[in-house]
Chain A
């Protein structure tokens, strides 16, 4: 086991909710006529936000499904995957059966490598971390809670609604009896500041890891964040404002002149197409 540290890549920008967004919270109290399914809110300000865990979990889950579907191809490239086969352990009913979705977590099945070495050689666990049965592999990605942008906080201060109560109805297929419920969701157009931090621990793996991270963000844009995505909720778009590389020398000296940044990108797609701009900040000699 060994770890090194070369610096951190900070990806900053905004997440725009293109449709209503529902990341649920528990109701504290029941009130007649109240919302059935509220969204999660900051306890001090009462404003909705996107928890880092929701965003990171969604990126990971989409990337796990991608890797599972390409497992045969990827086994040659990542030796940590060599003992896995496609599928979920649920059918076999035990953990560590060799299926890619091998870990039962809170009654659901996900993928987690069991050892540090396996995780280091797995594209998913190397990026998103693994709490293994034998040893952990720390995540290289940190996803911060995304709070409303100043522009949207200002709109809220001026009285504009940030969330809406959407009425939905379940209809009995025989009697046509209606069963209405209200779901709260963040209004379409709302923007949140996001920050994703990638820790550079191996210069040879940077490009691969960043590609996978950006690919997961692209997959998310064409999937959904939060609940009720198949009913149109949770379509989001990332706007990339700044990519900065803070090398180890910055942390040693505090000299902000050591921080290197790329230009602004209008989309994740554009950034992925120009991934070498970021890699060259980290490996200036192309080494």
Chain B
């Protein structure tokens, strides 16, 4: 039974998109810099890189936690649902499944999916000319949550790193926001710390719950790749191909990527895996 600290982000409004572990790590590191300064941030990055890891954010509803659809289950849907096409279709449409379903899916057993506690919506916005009051309408995407719904992420590592850096950073980020359009109130939340238990099988493979940059490309078993970029202090970060959440890997911790953007400091991208044991289909190994 894997026991993890979980940080619930109880939303005060919408969020631009569900943040991955790369975004969460960047936000936490920036928050640590705001609170403690640059020297302490370097210490945090060093300690985090060696000893700790975080998952991407996933939705929750009340006490029900959702996790990404593991790719080994996706590859075995026909066997898991014994050819029942309607169930296969229903499962395929969900990027996240409840924790109890996840525990069955990583054992390649039949599971039940549920409606997700959020919606992706387009919100109309208007900009007004300051002189003539001419209006111009445009749209922004946002993720909005059901009542009692929100996001959480998992932490695995030493308690002192958690208490000294992660908790203050989340208190700060709650009042500062995470993701885009924070000044419109997107991404504000109230942090709450709890624990999540994942019943992991004694499998010979792992599902990663964060985007990872593998140390050894032979460690990939079933994977999806996305190029993850972004901005740092006005400089565009090169897009780094990362293996996405739900991918199945051999034992590989992933690694922190150092980027030199010509800034007075190095920029770090969190490519560490958040592995949860799973059973891989025999023919995939």
Do A and B share a complex? yes
A residues contacting B by CB (< 8 A) are 3, 5, 8, 10, 24-26, 40, 42-45, 51-54, 56-57, 61, 64-65, 68, 87-88, 90, 101, 105-111, 128-129, 135-136, 138-139, 141-145, 147, 195, 197, 199, 246, 248, 250-254
A44 pairs with B144, CB closer than 8 A: yes
Q: Supply 15 A–B pairs (Cβ within 8 Å), ascending by A.
A: A40-B124, A44-B147, A51-B123, A52-B186, A64-B130, A68-B130, A88-B130, A108-B136, A110-B127, A143-B185, A144-B12, A145-B184, A197-B175, A250-B171, A251-B31
Residue of B nearest to A108 (CB): B129
| Interface 0/1 of B39-57, CB less than 8 Å to A | 0000000000000000000
Query: In chain B, residues 20-38, which have Cβ atoms closer than 8 Å to a Cβ of chain A?
Result: 31, 34-36
In the complex, A43 Cα to B127 Cα: how many Å?
Answer: 22
With contacts A42-B144, A43-B119 known, is A195 near B12, CB below 8 A? yes
Main secondary structure of the interface of B (DSSP, over half): mixed
Interface size bracket, B side: 35 or more
A142 pairs with B182, CB closer than 8 A: yes
In the complex, A218 Cα to B144 Cα: how many Å?
Answer: 31
Residue of A nearest to B124 (CB): A26
Taking the nearest CB of chain A, how far is it from the CB of B118, in angstroms? 9
Residues of B within 8 A of A111 (CB): 130
Residue of A nearest to B140 (CB): A53
A sample of 13 more A-B contacts (CB under 8 A), given A61-B128, A251-B171, is: A5-B35, A44-B144, A45-B147, A51-B123, A53-B125, A88-B131, A108-B129, A139-B183, A142-B176, A145-B14, A246-B175, A250-B171, A254-B167
Residues of B within 8 A of A246 (CB): 175
A252 pairs with B183, CB closer than 8 A: no
Residues of B within 8 A of A253 (CB): 168
B168 pairs with A251, CB closer than 8 A: yes
B134 pairs with A107, CB closer than 8 A: yes
In the complex, A111 Cα to B131 Cα: how many Å?
Answer: 11
Q: When the two chains form the complex, which single residue of A10, A45, A129, A147 contacts B175, counting CB atoms closer than 8 Å?
A: A10
In the complex, A248 Cα to B140 Cα: how many Å?
Answer: 32
Residues of A within 8 A of B145 (CB): 44
Query: Which of A105, A108, A195, A254 has the largest count of B CB atoms less than 10 A from its CB?
Result: A108
Residues of A within 8 A of B138 (CB): 106
With contacts A88-B130, A106-B138 known, is A5 near B34, CB below 8 A? yes
Q: Is B268 an interface residue (CB 8 A)?
A: no
With contacts A42-B144, A57-B128, A61-B128 known, is A106 near B136, CB below 8 A? yes
A56 pairs with B131, CB closer than 8 A: no
Residues of B within 8 A of A251 (CB): 31, 35, 168, 171-172
Q: When the two chains form the complex, which single residue of A40, A144, A248 contacts B35, counting CB atoms closer than 8 Å?
A: A248
A108 pairs with B127, CB closer than 8 A: yes
With contacts A40-B124, A53-B181, A143-B184 known, is A252 near B131, CB below 8 A? no
Q: Is B177 an interface residue (CB 8 A)?
A: yes
B12 pairs with A43, CB closer than 8 A: no
Taking the nearest CB of chain A, how far is it from the CB of B172, in angstroms? 4
With contacts A109-B129, A254-B171 known, is A44 near B146, CB below 8 A? yes
Residues of B within 8 A of A252 (CB): 35-36, 168
In the complex, A64 Cα to B31 Cα: how many Å?
Answer: 30
Residue of B nearest to A62 (CB): B130
Residues of B within 8 A of A108 (CB): 127-130, 132, 134-136
| Interface 0/1 of B202-225, CB less than 8 Å to A | 000000000000000000000000
In the complex, A10 Cα to B171 Cα: how many Å?
Answer: 14
Top 10 closest pairs, chain A to chain B, by CB: A52-B185, A144-B185, A108-B129, A106-B136, A145-B13, A139-B183, A53-B184, A5-B34, A52-B184, A251-B172
